[in-house]
Amino acid sequence: MEKILKTLTELYGPSGEEETVREKILELVGKRADSTFTDQLGNLFVLFRGNAPKILISAHMDEIGIIVTNIDENGFLRLAPLGGLSPSILTGQRLRFKSGLIGLVYHEKINDLKELTWPKLYLDIGQKSRSEAEKVVAIGDLACFDQPFVSVPGSRFLAKAMDNRAGCAVLVETISGLKRPLPQEVCFVFSVQEELGLRGAKTAAFGYEPDYGLAVDVTRVGDTPKADNMAVSLGLGPAIKVKDSSVITHPLIRRFMVDQAKNLNIDYQLEVLERGGTDAGAIHLSRAGVPSGALSIPCRYVHTPSEMVDSADLENAVNLLSGLLRVPWPAVTEGHL
Amino acid sequence: MKIKETLAELSNLRGVSGAEAEVSSYLADRLEEGRFEVRVDSIGNLLVRKGRKKGKKLMLSAHMDEVGLMIMDFEKNGLLRFRAVGGIDSRILVAKRLRVGIHALPGVIGSKPIHLQKKGEQDKPFREDSLYIDCGFKNHEEAAGYLKVGEYATFDVKCAAISKNAFRGKAFDNRAGCLVLLSLLLEKNSLSFDAAFTVQEEVGTRGAQIAAYTMEPDRALVVESTAAADTPETEQELSSTILGQGPAISLMDSTVMVDRQMRNELTVAAEKAGIIYQYRRFTGAGTDGGAIAYSRSGVKTAVLSVPCRYIHSPHSVLYESDLKSTIDLVRSWLDTQQ
């Protein structure tokens, strides 16, 4: 798990340019599937055929980042955010382009932190002029944080893009341990552009037409000093989502997940995320509606260069997800609420 | 096609989001003269196919609607209360001439005159609530005899050339895009593509969502008008687009991440045909791109815009040369896709 997580988090994959991550995941799990395919947007589908119902398990591959919007005459780049990113968090950070080029974000002179807005930021790639800069970068190029994966003493990991390579790693591990025959058909989708508004999951759900949806993603926690009130902590188990801004977990799915966790004796938490969404938000509204839920990995410092997760939560997420796929999913009937 | 005349005609048409029939009829007439079969779908999009039915399905899309006002209520004294339809800066509304309602009655946006303003009032811009439309009605009853709540008002502006290359007019966003599509449909060429003239873009890219679902394209190119901010207060690196520097290729906007491959195809097509182009150096604001790109199982989508100053106001300014090179670039790109 640690090795896969290190590999995946260190890859380059801001929203819109997920191909490096997609290729790596395909290499890791492709051979085990009945078929793999991608759609127009770049979602990777990893299909395990079976009888009805059809379950779609989604984890997004993209990470937050920036897009270059202009290059000035002195070779400085201007940038705009990809996903929910704050200028104060970017300041002083190194960013990495697909080519491997590294740049540093800093800001124009400001008198007050309140003045620190996107138009004040620039990216310095160490070039002396526009023409020099244009040799190594172009308007429209993307970049992500440049941070190595770190295993701290104990059980926790720090890395960029835990959101959501942690979810991808959970899917990869689950796929590796999948035992056939499966009680029903399962399609794992490694989705794109989640950070821009659950966009990949929308087209993936339309294309696959699942009967059920489940997103695996990170969630915020409330266990740091004077944090926002939130009843999820690192290390107390994967979280079964109750609701966030994008979805209310179908009560039947939520109960099913809770029952399975209890049966398997896996520690879990219940998650109510007040701000934030996940792929399940797009999946559950696809076509005529898809009962959906989400399994969340507690994560500190989401959308910063160093996001922290606990290995026990990851292992338990794999155990719970694997458990969920070993049993037949309940039929959605009238009066189930 | 006569570009100047057509731009003026399109710009002068009245078609606020939700009431695009005048624009749609004009386009349908021109297209029927050109022996096209047109179709209007359930929400009001005008759909037309050019050329053969086989091969890659390419969709060109441009929205017909413009921003404007909607009549919300009548005051006892016959003045009209209104709300903006689409994104309008309320500070630009004061003292503008309007055409109001389905009969295009002349009107003006009124406000408290300088003589009567209290101390401090002059420091604050008028908001929608402190403005009203005056059509000269005596009272509520007279107003209600001519107009119904829910009717629209448009800026009363006629398109005009202000220099050899520059035009001033309303609704260039996005009649400029409509013109590009119309021109490519009516000119003699052997290109095959589907065109959608969409409705309700300004209130949330609604028509395009339905058009894309119906058309099921393999690839889509949205032709838009985008803000040029090449004015003194905007530093060059933040200016988004510049008039005279050709069509603007979007990187992303609030609705869509432009397909990288299509972006490259556009730049290659431009370079091949010797067309100058620029990037849209701004990633905010929305277009029909998102509604199309994330339709069904996903559609590779790009957005190309005619740079345009002062959009969403009564008087936008664009260059004919940018309009022409946008037509050239779309044609050149379509050529590579046949």
Domain residue ranges of chain A, discontinuous segments joined by +: 2-63+160-326, 65-145
B201: annotated active-site residue = yes
- What CA–CA distance (Å, rounded) separates B147 from A53? 56
C-beta atoms surrounding A141 within 10 Å: 20
Tell whether B258 and B330 lie within a shared domain. yes
Q: How far, in Å, CA of A169 to CA of A201, rounded?
A: 18
Domain annotation covers residue B314:
yes
Q: Which residue has the tokens 């779609």?
A: A56
Q: Under CATH, what is the fold of the domain A65-145?
A: Elongation Factor Tu (Ef-tu); domain 3 (2.40.30)
Question: Do B133 and B139 form a contact (C-beta atoms < 8 A)?
Answer: no
Say yes or no to pLDDT of B32 above 90.
yes
Contact status, residue B194 vs residue B50, Cβ threshold 8 Å: yes
For residue A253, name the pLDDT band (cuts at 50, 70, 90): very high
Residue A172 backbone class (left: φ over 0; alpha: ψ -120 to 50; beta: rest) = alpha
Q: Which helix (H) or strand (E) holds A62?
A: none
pLDDT grade, residue B240 (50/70/90)? confident
Residue A42, pLDDT > 70, answer yes
The whole-angstrom separation of Cα A66 and Cα B269 is: 27
Average pLDDT over residues A30-57: 96
Q: At A130, which helix (H) or strand (E)?
A: helix A130-134
Q: What is the pLDDT of residue B237?
A: 58
For B42-58, the pLDDT digits (tens) are: 999 999 999 977 889 99
Interface predicted TM-score (ipTM): 0.87
Can you tell me the mean pLDDT for A13-17?
Answer: 97
Across A8-22, A322-336, B114-128, the highest mean pLDDT is recorded for A8-22
Candidates A41, A139, A202, partner chain B, best to mutate (most B CBs within 10 A) = A41
Which residues of chain B neighbour A69 with C-beta distances below 8 Å?
251, 279, 281-283
Contact across the interface for B297 and A16, Cβ inside 8 Å: no
Same domain (yes/no): B320, B197: yes
Cα B165 to Cα A87, B246, B289, distances in angstroms: 40, 13, 29
How far B169 CA lies from chain A's nearest CA (Å)?
29
Q: Which of A88-102, A319-333, B5-19, B27-41 has the lowest mean pLDDT?
A: A319-333
Asked if the structure places residue B100 within a domain, the reply is yes
What is the rounded average pLDDT of the residues B262-270? 97
Chain A residue numbers with beta carbons less than 8 Å from the beta carbon of B226 are none
- CB pair distance less than 8 Å for A206 and B296: yes
Do residues B153 and B102 make contact, with C-beta atoms less than 8 angstroms apart? Answer: no
Give dist(CA B133, CA B125) in Å, integer.
17
Rounded Cα distance, B53 and B292, in Å: 20
Please indicate, yes or no, whether residues B124 and B206 belong to a single structural domain of this protein. Answer: no
Pick from A214, A274, A209, A221: nearest CA to A246: A274
Q: Are residues B189 and B291 in the same domain?
A: yes
Q: Are residues B98 and B228 both part of a single domain?
A: no
Query: What is the rounded radius of gyration, in angstroms, for the C-alpha atoms of chain B?
Result: 20
pLDDT, position B52? 79
pLDDT at A332 (0 to 100): 75
Residue B287, pLDDT score: 96
Domain presence at residue B292: yes
d(CA A145, CA A64): 8
Residues B96, A212: Cα–Cα separation, whole Å: 54
Mean pLDDT for chain A? 96
Alpha-carbon gap: A268 to the closest alpha carbon of chain B (Å)? 34
pLDDT score recorded for residue A143: 98
Residue percentage of chain A with pLDDT more than 90 = 97
Q: Are B199 and B43 in contact (CB under 8 A)?
A: yes
Q: For residues A19 and A11, is the Cβ–Cβ distance under 8 A? A: no
**C-beta separation of B91 from B125 below 8 A:** yes
d(CA A204, CA B308): 36
pLDDT tens digit sequence for A213-230: 999 999 999 999 999 889
What is residue B229's predicted lDDT score, i.e. its pLDDT?
79
> From CA A48, how far away is CA A32, in angstroms rounded?
9
How far B311 CA lies from chain A's nearest CA (Å)?
A: 21
pLDDT at B236 over 80: no
Tell me if B164 is assigned to some domain: no
Give a yes or no: residue B160 inside a domain: no
Q: Does domain A2-63+160-326 have CATH number 3.30.360.10?
A: no
Same domain, B188 and B57: yes
* pLDDT in the model for residue B53: 73
Q: Which of B155, B178, B195 is the last residue of a domain?
A: B155
What are the DSSP E strand ranges found in chain A? 35-38, 44-48, 54-60, 65-71, 76-82, 94-97, 102-107, 121-124, 142-145, 150-151, 156-159, 185-191, 212-219, 239-243, 269-272, 292-298, 307-310
Residue B122's pLDDT is 87
Give dist(CA B296, CA B214) in Å, integer.
10
In the predicted model, is pLDDT for residue A337 greater than 70? no
Range of the domain at B136: 68-155
Question: Which pair of tokens denotes residue B135?
Answer: 């059509």
Which residues lie closer than 8 Å to B2 by C-beta, 6 or more apart? none
Examine the pLDDT at B238 and tell me if it is beyond 90.
Answer: no
User: Which CATH number belongs to the domain containing residue B87 in this structure?
Assistant: 2.40.30.40
Catalytic residue among B201, B202, B224, B265: B201
- Spacing of C-alpha B213 from chain mean position: 21
Cα(A235)–Cα(B279) distance, rounded to whole angstroms?
46
SS (H, E, C) chain B: CCHHHHHHHHHHCCCECCCCHHHHHHHHHHHHHCCCCEEECCCCCEEEEECCCCCCCEEEEEECCECEEEEEEECCCCCEEEEEECCCCHHHCCCCEEEECCCCEEEEEECCCHHHCCCCHHHCCCCHHHCEEECCCCCHHHHHHHCCCCCEEEECCCCEECCCCEEEECCHHHHHHHHHHHHHHHCCCCCCEEEEEECCCCCCCHHHHHHHHHHCCCEEEEEEEEEECCCCCCCHHHCCCCCCCCCEEECECCCCECCHHHHHHHHHHHHHCCCCCEEECCCCCCCCHHHHHCCCCCCEEEEEEEEEECCCCCCEEEEHHHHHHHHHHHHHHHHHHC
Q: Which of residues 224-283 of B touch A (CB under 8 A)?
A: 236-238, 251-252, 257, 260, 263, 279, 281-283
Contacts of B59 in chain A (CB under 8 A): none
pLDDT exceeds cutoff 60 at A334? no
Cβ of A40 and B252 within 8 Å? Answer: no
Which of B275, B283, B285 has its CA nearest to residue B244?
Answer: B275
What's the start-to-end Cα distance of chain A, in Å? Answer: 37
Does residue B161 fall inside a structural domain?
no
Same domain, B118 and B194: no
Residue B165 within any structural domain of the chain: no
Q: Do B137 and B237 belong to one domain?
A: no
**Percentage with pLDDT > 70 across chain B:** 98
Whole-angstrom Cα distance, residue B81 to residue B133?
6
| Exposed/middle/buried for residue A288 (C-beta within 10 Å: 0-12, 13-18, 19+) | exposed
Identify the pLDDT of residue A336.
54
Query: Does residue B261 form part of some domain?
Result: yes
How large is the average pLDDT for residues A298-309?
98
- Residue with tokens 């297209």, as numbered in its chain: B31
State the pTM of this model.
Answer: 0.92
Name every residue whose Cβ is closer than 8 Å to that of residue A278 and which is 6 or more positions away in sequence.
Answer: A194, A198, A215, A217, A241, A244, A246, A247, A294, A296
pLDDT > 80? residue A330:
yes
Q: How far is A42 from chain B (nearest CA, A)?
A: 9
CA B224 to chain centre: 7
The predicted-structure confidence for B148-176, as pLDDT tens digits, reads as follows 999 999 999 999 999 999 999 999 999 99
What is the residue-averaged pLDDT of chain B?
Answer: 95
Task: For residues A191-215, give the mean pLDDT.
Answer: 97
Are B258 and B280 in contact by the 8 Å Cβ rule? The answer is: no
Q: Which two tokens stand for residue B151?
A: 């009717």
Specify the number of domains making up chain B: 2
> What is the arithmetic mean of pLDDT over A122-150?
97
pLDDT digits (tens, 9 = 90+) for B100-119: 999 999 999 999 998 989 88
**Residues B82 and B60 occupy one common structural domain:** no
CB contact under 8 A, B251 and A69: yes
Which of A67, A70, A203 is closest, CB to CB, to B294? A203
